[in-house]
Structure 1
Amino acid sequence: MKEFKAIIIDPIGLHARLASIVSSEALKYKSEIKITLPKFNKEGNLKSIMILLAMNIRKNDEIIVKATGEDEELAIKELEKVFKEANII
């Protein structure tokens, strides 16, 4: 299992456009990829836009993204890059 932790910096949080960007990236990998919102003890599948939106992730929330599977290292590396490039974290 590989993971990264980050704080959301987007003023609106993880809204529909950003959720679409990260879930599309997550779908490229075979690994199981989860996002956790420790503040509210919520966990969801990063590959699902609907779950991401239902988690109601806001600015200044801490998130943990975890990947488990054969391409977990690449998945985490690329997902962290996408989160940063989209100015989410």
Structure 2
Amino acid sequence: MTGMGWLAAIIVGALAGWIAEQFMNARMGLLLNIVLGILGAIVMNALLVFVFGATLGGWIGQLVVGILGACILIALARAMRRTA
């Protein structure tokens, strides 16, 4: 996560994962929310840099990026679960 310490990344990741969980109507635990939020932010940051050459900065920007990324990861997990 851009310019954040580990503790801030965990807090923002947990919040992003929880918001994505509520938005996607998925029931997961706190640890998976943190993981999805952080991984979602990493995935979306990479996509934003690849497509636009830049990403959103700050806590709010990373929260938005984390929410979008976590929603994408939840959707991918659901799609993989259906095909398996």
Tell me the TM-score normalised to structure 2 length: 0.31
More helix by share: 2
TM-score (norm 1): 0.30
